[in-house]
Amino acid sequence: MAAEARERTLGGAYALSAYALWGFLPLYFLLLAPTGPWELVAWRILLSLVFCALLLTVTRTWPRLVAIMRQPRLLGLTALAGALIYVNWQVFIYGALTGHVIETSLGYFINPIATVLLAVLVLRERLRPTQWVAIGIAAGAVLVIVLGYGSFPWIALVLAASFGTYGLVKKKVGPSVDAVSGLTLETLWLTPVAAVILVNVGVTGGLTMGAYGWEHAVLLSLTGVVTAVPLLLFAAGARRVSLTTIGLLQFVAPVMQFLTGWLVLGEPMPLERWIGFGLVWLALIILTVDSVLHARRVRAAR
């Protein structure tokens, strides 16, 4: 029992660390100015691939990757996951670098609700009444933001949809693909895209790598580590703690991003946006309480 408790504590620390690092990402990306969102995503892809290759070498797990590459179904799923995470990264970095950090946080607040909705639309799962209430309130929140604030929150909705679908694909992959091998394959599929982006940026405006001093070059070079480390911490934590714990901890990152956009970067929060966010938070409270109570009922039944 003591060993299990230690594992749960360790898992919680790993997962909390992952979400905290994700919460700091907007500030890190802002440090990389004047690197634009297209070049930044391209370096993020290539340097994540390099970092994962080093990890596979150190841990001597190349045979595991080769075994995965011999399975067409898994290759196809990792390619789809790569496309989805590219969309997520590109939109997130665009939002972080163009003064929309608060809207990126909204995307990750909506993400759990989007995941529940995908379970209905794709997996044909049946929702409990409280889950439908949460989805309805979240839809109302988006409507309030659109009508009251006068802008369609496309960044938030694309982030929620892309990451929610990415999670669905990863669930289809299951334990057959470990975290390092999965990220290696996803970035490997995206390498041609990254190469085209870098060539285009280099021809049209010039690459920033190495053009703004060694400090900027070092920070830009660490994007692979900054990308991979939270994913590995999350994978280590998810194996040790319950899904309910992961569900509660996942709000750490968007809360940090919201506070960064509002208090640090001074992004506007008019009344309409407060009302919209308040409705989203109410929906999340309903969804979280329902999930915790349902998990307890299932354990009691067992």
For 131-168, the three-class secondary structure string (H helix, E strand, C coil) is HHHHHHHHHHHHHHHHHHHCCCCHHHHHHHHHHHHHHH
| Whole-angstrom distance, CA of residue 144 vs CA of residue 150 | 9
What is the spatial distance between Cα 117 and Cα 163, in angstroms, rounded to a whole number?
Answer: 13
Distances in whole angstroms, Cα of residue 281 to Cα of each of 114, 139, 285: 14, 12, 6
The whole-model pTM stands at 0.89
User: What is d(CA 53, CA 187) in angstroms, rounded to the nearest whole number?
Assistant: 11
| SS3 state at 207 | coil
Angle between helices 223-238 and 179-204 (to 10 degrees): 160
Residue 175 DSSP symbol: G
Confidence at residue 145, expressed as pLDDT on a 0 to 100 scale: 84
Enter the tokens of residue 164: 């929610």
- Decide: 249 and 99 in contact? Cβ < 8 Å: no
* Contact predicate 153/273, CB 8 Å: no
Residue 63 and residue 72: Cα distance in Å, rounded? 16
The candidate with the shortest Cα–Cα distance to 296, out of 249, 246, 243, 252, is 243
pLDDT the model gives residue 66: 93
* Ranges of residues in the chain whose predicted pLDDT is under 70: 1, 149, 242-244, 247
- Tell me, what's the pLDDT at 9? 82
Contact 104, 163 (CB under 8 A): no
pLDDT at 261: 94
Nearest CA to 155 among 89, 85, 107, 86?
A: 107
Q: Does residue 69 contact residue 185 with C-beta atoms inside 8 Å? A: yes
